[in-house]
Structure 1
Amino acid sequence: MFEPGTVWSWGPFTVPVLWMGMLVGIIGGYYLLARIGHKQQLPTVKPFLDTITSAALIGVLIYKLWPLVEQTDIFIRNPAALLLYSGGAYAAEAAGIASAGWFLYRGIRGKWLGWQAAEWLFAGSVLLLLSKAVFVKEYGVSASWGWELAGNTYIPLNLIDLVLYLSLLVVAYVFFVKKTVATRDRVGILLVGLGLAGLIRGLWRVPAADTLLWGMTLPELLLVAALLVGVTLLLLPKK
């Protein structure tokens, strides 16, 4: 496991370890879903995977080129400098919005956007979070055991994530294999699991300064929303 902010360099190229962890998660999810699609002859798997791949590339491209938006004049004078920089203010948000917009556009146009695609998408999100927990250390509140940093000891928050997300994946896989639970309900289980995992890990995180409501950050509020939506899906009348 690597420290937060660790960067690997190859000549003029720099790649954050976090990106490598996410890449491993994407490749692993792609391989597993491709095998499932081939084994079960699911026609929607290929367009789903193609769209996920193109959406990820769009997100990475926008994130990488975002400095050109913020400091256009500098990079026009020295285009090679763009190799050394990426990201910036609102870069992650812009990349995420563009990727999500492309995914929705392709899904609606291809008429494959439904509960099955939602299940794959949320299961893939759990896999990405699990991969991040494996690659990058995350420090929680001060404790008597855990990760040491500058002479202090902190709760190993990423190890808590590892247990939570791995458990959720196992539960989701069991329900998927048994096929005794409707796809909509499996989506609900994934959303409830993501929401609960976010709330549980929040017990040990360092209080954030950028809270929006009830002492929670935007990602935490989104996880609460996921929990509520998941519960609603599970309580809806069965067809």
Structure 2
Amino acid sequence: MFEPYQTISLGPLTVSYMMLFLMISVTIGYFFINWYMKHLEIDHKEKVADVLMMSLIIGVLTYKFWPFVIEPKLLTAPQNLLYYSGGPYAILVAIILSIGYFAFQFFKNGWHTQVIDSVIIGSAVSGFTFFFFIREYGRQNPLTFGYSSGEMIHHPVNFYFAWLILLTIIGAMVLISKEKKLGRSMFILIGLVFSYLIISPLQM
């Protein structure tokens, strides 16, 4: 597992592990969605894939350029484009814009609700990937396992999230028929809410 704000050089670019695994997890989620739509034999999966890709691009660009939206003076130095990304509410705004664009296209094209199942499950797979690799330190753990920081042991919050998400995905796939309208989506969304409620008291 990797520290979120440590950096790695990729050719001329230097990116944090958080940003790197965010891109990796989104890519894995995207390919899983395409595979799942093929598994469900959705007729318009190519159109859905194009819209999904545009939604992801909107989200990534929003996250990347958000610092320049809230602090326009950063644009006075072009090199800042390489170093700045994220910031307050960046992820929230990126998610809202991405979901908003996808929802608009979903209703405009009248797609089957199985498209929603595909996107929700793929997003959960993406979340599992991200949380599995990026450390999040929780509160002090009285037990002997977790992340060390000095003499303290912290709850490995991301590890808890990752495995609860995985169990939720498996539960949805095993317990809920793919024919049930939005059944797997609702199972996963409810599972994610309960996962957060369980883990949030352990967060710092």
Q: TM-score, normalization: structure 2?
A: 0.85
Give the letter aligned to residue 55 of structure 2.
A
Find the aligned partners of 1:23 and 1:73 in 2 and give their Cα distance.
27
Is 1:189 matched with 2:187?
Answer: yes
Give the letter aligned to residue 62 of structure 1.
T
Q: What does 1:1-239 align with in structure 2 at a 5 Å threshold?
A: 1-10=1-10, 12-75=12-75, 77-112=76-111, 115-143=113-141, 144-145=143-144, 146-175=146-175, 179=178, 182-206=180-204
Q: Indicate conservation of the 8 Å contact 2:139/2:155, yes or no.
A: yes
Give the letter aligned to residue 119 of structure 2.
L
Q: Give the C-alpha shift of residue 39 in structure 1.
A: 4.3
Q: Give the C-alpha shift of residue 11 in structure 1.
A: 5.2
Q: CA RMSD in A?
A: 2.3
Percent identical: 28
Provide structure 1 residue ranges, at least 5 long, that are not aligned to the other structure. Answer: 207-239
**Which one has more relative contact order, counting CA pairs under 8 Å at least 6 apart?**
2
Q: Give the C-alpha shift of residue 130 in structure 1.
A: 0.7
Q: Give the C-alpha shift of residue 74 in structure 1.
A: 4.2
Find the aligned partners of 1:134 and 1:47 in 2 and give their Cα distance.
31
Residue-by-residue CA offset, 1:96-149 (whole Å, 9 max, x unaligned): 22212211222122221x532222222123212211221111122212321101
Which has the larger displacement, 33-42 or 99-108?
A: 33-42
Distance 1:19 1:173, change over 3 A: farther
Distance 1:41 1:185, change over 3 A: closer
Runs of 4+ aligned residues of structure 1 deviating over 4 Å after TM superposition are none
Larger Rg: 1
Find the aligned partners of 2:21 and 2:187 in 1 and give their Cα distance.
25
Q: Give the C-alpha shift of residue 30 in structure 1.
A: 2.7
Q: Indicate conservation of the 8 Å contact 1:160/1:201, yes or no.
A: yes
How many residues align structurally? 202
Distance 1:90 1:161, change over 3 A: closer
Distance 1:108 1:149, change over 3 A: same
Distance 1:92 1:29, change over 3 A: closer
